[in-house]
Structure 1
């Protein structure tokens, strides 16, 4: 821990929020903070530790994006490739002009199986399709394959999970590998994210936190009936906060993609609101001088994840939580202590 930084304010907020999770702060290749709080398993009173693995929900969409970029780098597809030309799955009502670029940037207009503007209860999804049957990308298809377009191709940014399921299916068809196997081999194992992976909720390995949902009476229940049995292209990887620090360092140092493809991945593509943009690698804050910070976030029942990387300061902050609230507040406090310091 950097002794020049006083973490007293962070400890106070952690207590106020009863934050449960891990925090990892990395600057110029060195960890300056790595702390954990709360319980990975509340009933057994097993505490969260720096090596505890957390689900990061949509925070793992960037892995899907990087996999697509790898296939582009290999010349097997381009960002302008239309899905009808690289995927042997019929979407009867989808526009034939949808490209990989549209899917990556959430402007494809395809029907989202979980429209966050219309729905606020993720558990409703599994009333007709039991979550224990959803273990790979194609298992999501019944929820949107025969749906009609919800917007025109190229319409303004509208966050879309189905688009990333389609990207995962493209990765599988072109690579000949299961999506999760591809990510684990070509990203996690390649850069030393040794504790990360896509795990089935009914076959979890050691050192995995259980996600907790707070009930109205302030008791808690596990999220095992709220999420797909196994994560996939739109989210659900398990990582340690430390592994995500390794990930950002590897990405920015060219260990995952070529310099040119990395630049494309990290370039703003579509405006979301004000100075927030979305690129192939996710959200970013940008001004006239360029990108100020890259922003990752993930929310699921019992899951709360936030991460930022400041390229000009070589500063990365990762906050993983196995409760639904608190990661953002912790992140903002850490930013106040470290950014421009």
Structure 2
């Protein structure tokens, strides 16, 4: 009788735990099932302990040709790419090729900015504390559709510009800093940035659908990007004019399945060691709204720690989130940008509301 009572108690406690988890998951599923286009265009995936419990496509990959999004459609991932770049750099740290705390001039003696060569470290580049500008914002109107393929092609947009502040003294989100990380990856590995990620990140994670392709490339099952200029326009314009290729700061194409594979490999220590992964995902610096590790945000503002990264550009909005307490991964990819509180942001806010008690902002 005592043994039966013990097992019954354990069963009831386990059932209560499972049910408490399921309530939140079911609330999210009910919410996501009722999302319709044009409220959202893209794909949402939810997984708990690496097992997918929800995945659905919404809206259109091509508005002009009436082609619907599918769960395996390729979307531009914008700045989620920074997390992949950070992993590549940290692999070089583990190999003893890169020291995070020495000036980058030790590795890039010909970099065309002496202050950067002498004062900026890889640690600062990865945590956005280098003082380099954000060329994607500062120079976007001058870039247009250019022949930007190799990392060196981007250097004229930022390399000779003065630093915004003394390295290490402040936080300022910087695509330029991640371009320099890309140069380090190339110099120390002997491979191009894209080759290195293909061989040492994507292959290790089993990512077969993550591609460095131009925005206007003709690829089967790729979503076109449609911009409202983040809510400033009431009509959409197709974005095939801003930037060309994936680079260390952003813009790889991928799908929810591959991004889940990537994050599973990362958090299960298959890409870098446990100790370095934990340091990567720790709150190393204070960002604008959240803390930031190496290429990943660490958000402790609500009921649990959320690690991940957002991405946004013309015709792109996306987010990868991992809720540590519940062990739930949420991936939202959209080929439409919207105003704050709508589209991808609205879905992200609801998931955070259910899993982390975030107050949902009122839609404008």
Compare relative contact order (CA 8 Å, sep 6+) and give the higher one, 1 or 2: 1
Change (3 A) 1:154 1:224: same
Instruction: Find the aligned partners of 2:291 and 2:140 in 1 and give their Cα distance.
Output: 30
The CA deviation at 1:53 is 0.7
**How many correspondences in the alignment?**
327
Q: Is the 8 Å Cα contact of residues 286 and 292 (structure 1) preserved in structure 2?
A: yes
The aligned residue for residue 101 of structure 1 is: 123
Are the counterparts in 1 of residues 37 and 59 from structure 2 also a CA contact under 8 Å?
Answer: no
More helix by share: 2
| Partner secondary structure for residue 206 of structure 1 | coil
Q: Which of 63, 66, 71 lines up with 1:42 in the alignment?
A: 63
By how many angstroms is 1:152 displaced?
0.9
- Mapped partners of 2:300, 2:40: distance in 1: 30
Q: Which residue of 2 aligns with 1:223?
A: 239
Q: Deviation at 1:314?
A: 1.3
Q: 1:257 aligns with which of 258, 269, 272?
A: 272
**CA separation of 1:179/1:83 partners in 2, compared to 1, >3 Å: closer, same or farther?**
same
For residue 350 of structure 2, what is the aligned residue in structure 1?
333
Tell me: CA distance 1:138–1:152, structure 2 relative to 1, closer, same or farther (3 Å).
same
Aligned-CA RMSD value: 2.4
> What are the superposed Cα offsets for residues 302-337 of structure 1, whole Å, 9 maximum, x if unpaired?
000112101232110010000002112112223445
2:317–2:335 CA contact under 8 A, matched in 1:
yes
Q: Report if aligned partners of 1:40, 1:208 keep a CA contact under 8 Å in 2.
A: yes
CA distance in 2, matches of 1:92, 1:77: 20
Q: Deviations over 1:131-189 (max 9, x none)?
A: 33111211110011111111111121111110000000110111111111211221112
Query: CA, structure 1 residues 99+182, in 2 after alignment: closer, same or farther (shift >3 Å)?
Result: same
| Pairing 1:174-193 to 2, within 5 Å after superposition | 174-193=188-207
- Offset, 1:192: 1.2
Residue 52 (1) aligns with residue 69 (2): no
8 Å CA contact 1:110–1:162 kept in 2: the answer is yes
Which residue matches 1:272? Answer: 287
Q: State the Cα distance separating 1:92 from its structure 2 match.
A: 3.0
SS in 1 for 2:162: coil
Q: TM-score, normalised by structure 1?
A: 0.89
Return the TM-score normalized by structure 2.
0.83
Q: Does 1:298 align with 2:319?
A: no
Higher strand share goes to which structure? Answer: 1
How far 1:17 sits from its partner (Å)?
5.4
* Unaligned residue ranges in structure 2 (runs of 5+): 1-21, 358-364
1:132-281 matches, cutoff 5 A: 132-214=146-228, 218-226=234-242, 228-273=243-288, 276-281=290-295
Gaps of 5+ in 1: none
Deviation, 1:77, is 1.0
| Rounded Cα–Cα distance in structure 2 between residues aligned with 1:194 and 1:32 | 22
1:9 paired to 2:9: no
User: 1:237 Cα deviation (Å)?
Assistant: 0.7
Native 8 Å contact 1:136 1:231 kept in 2: no
**Counterpart position of 1:86:** 107
